[in-house]
Amino acid sequence: MNYNFDQIIDRSNTNALKKDGWREYIFKDPEGKKVFNFSDEEFIHMWVADMEFRTADEIIDAIKCRADHGIIGYTTVYNDDYPNAFASWCRRRYGFGFGREELCYSAGIIPALFELVGDICGPDDKVVFQTPSYGFFKHASTYNGREMLFNRMKYSGGRWEMNFDDLAEKCADPSAKLLVFCNPQNPTGRVWTEEELARVGQIAVDNDMYIISDEIHCDIQRSGVQHIPMARVMKDYPKMITCMSASKCFNIAGLQLANVIIRDPEIREKFRANDKLAGFLNPLSIAGMQAAYEHGEDWLRQMTEYVDENFRYVKSFLDENFPEVEFEIPDATYLAWVNFGKVLPAGTDVNDFFANNAGVLIEGGDALFVDNAEGFVRLNLAMPRSLIEEAMDRIADAIRRA
């Protein structure tokens, strides 16, 4: 089957965060008091990490089929169908296995992070993570009142590297109890090599820390790139937790279902006991995610090739028009992490600038990526190419006028 990723789908009146929630999320302006130079209909949305692509028909059909049963009662995972589908996906694609008793569920990785930080860290314990960072690593720590230590990644010539010396120093803090690790990394798109993963893991082992490896972006690699789960590298480490979901790469974040593999039985028990949904799951979500793992590979391959081409387009556009803008195509994610610092006046609020001068909604800077992100902008490239072409023209025009 050939899927159509050029199709433009209007998300109006679907209560979509991307279409209707940007004022609150990006500009902290839920009442819409801030006035913009563009009307709502004119904006191109390159912000939050969901796609503008229709998900795989196989997933939609499975959800319809489950709805057609006619009874949508209280549900969780009792039989082996869903865990078998997920386990087979992990084995086939990542050579990664886990004990079935370790597999827990959550209504998303965000709620899992909020829960796990509190389950693992006492009031005086600290959470370590790399910056720039996905904002919810910070929000989960703040929600639980836990102090954070930022391990600033190093940036040079368009490439982000782990700062191992600083990581070792931060983790040696006697209160550092939890490392929240992003593999592949959002927003930089870095895929970590086996050697890098082993070095990070050794630092956690040396300091007896728990690791949560958030691998939500693991299924979206550039063609030919291979994901390595941290738990595969840290084979028997008991303090290892892995979070995965088909939500990101199949554009089904609204189903709100995530897999959380917890090795430590004590933390696992706590996680289950503290689950505010009391273990219940949405039956339509189970059906949809199972179909993704069982029948989604062809869609995923075609989507990956389409997004690869979007990256090539943006890279050559920026190289031709703004050689001083630093950008390298990332190995993973559909997110371009671009340094516009050298073409915009110092101190520019990038979110405001691109919204008001280009009519393009993006996320950038420390306000949204915690720390170590000034001048950087994240462009979501999981959208029809015609929209990307228009967005890049508008961005170029805005920069030239700045």
Ligand X SMILES: Cc1ncc(COP(=O)(O)O)c(C=O)c1O
Q: How far is the CB of 319 from ligand X (least distance, A)?
A: 27
26 touches ligand X by CB under 6 A: no
Q: Which of residues 256-275 bind ligand X (CB under 6 A)?
A: 258
Among 151, 183, 245, 259, binds ligand X (CB under 6 A): 245
253 touches ligand X by CB under 6 A: yes
Q: How far is the CB of 193 from ligand X (least distance, A)?
A: 19
Query: Token pair for residue 15?
Result: 């209560």
Q: How far is the CB of 402 from ligand X (least distance, A)?
A: 29
Here's the x/- map for ligand X, 160-189, by CB under 6 A: it reads as ----------------------x---x---
109 touches ligand X by CB under 6 A: yes
Q: Report how far apart, in Å, the C-alpha atoms of 196 and of each of 168, 182, 200 are.
A: 13, 13, 6
Q: How far is the CB of 346 from ligand X (least distance, A)?
A: 29
- Which residue in this structure is represented by tokens 């007896």? 208
Looking at the Cβ atoms of 108 and 375, the one nearer to ligand X is 108
- Which residue in this structure is represented by tokens 């386990």? 87
Residue 296 to residue 289: CA distance in whole angstroms: 9
Residues 210 and 227 sit within 8 Å (Cβ to Cβ):
no
Residue 364 to residue 40: CA distance in whole angstroms: 20
133 touches ligand X by CB under 6 A: no
Among 26, 44, 49, 116, binds ligand X (CB under 6 A): 49
Q: How far is the CB of 199 from ligand X (least distance, A)?
A: 21
Q: How far is the CB of 109 from ligand X (least distance, A)?
A: 4
Looking at the Cβ atoms of 186 and 221, the one nearer to ligand X is 186
108 touches ligand X by CB under 6 A: yes
339 touches ligand X by CB under 6 A: no
191 touches ligand X by CB under 6 A: no
Q: How many CB atoms lie within 10 A of CB 157?
A: 6
Residue showing the smallest CB distance to ligand X in the complex? 108
Residue 94 to residue 259: CA distance in whole angstroms: 15
Which of these, 130, 131, 117, lies nearest to 241 by C-alpha position? 117
Element (H, E) at 118: helix 109-120
Q: Which residues contact 48 (CB under 8 A, 6 or more apart)?
A: 17, 18, 21, 22, 25, 363, 380
Which of these, 38, 328, 1, lies nearest to 159 by C-alpha position? 328
**Could you list the residues that contact ligand X (CB under 6 A)?**
49, 108-110, 134, 182, 186, 214, 216, 245, 247, 253, 258
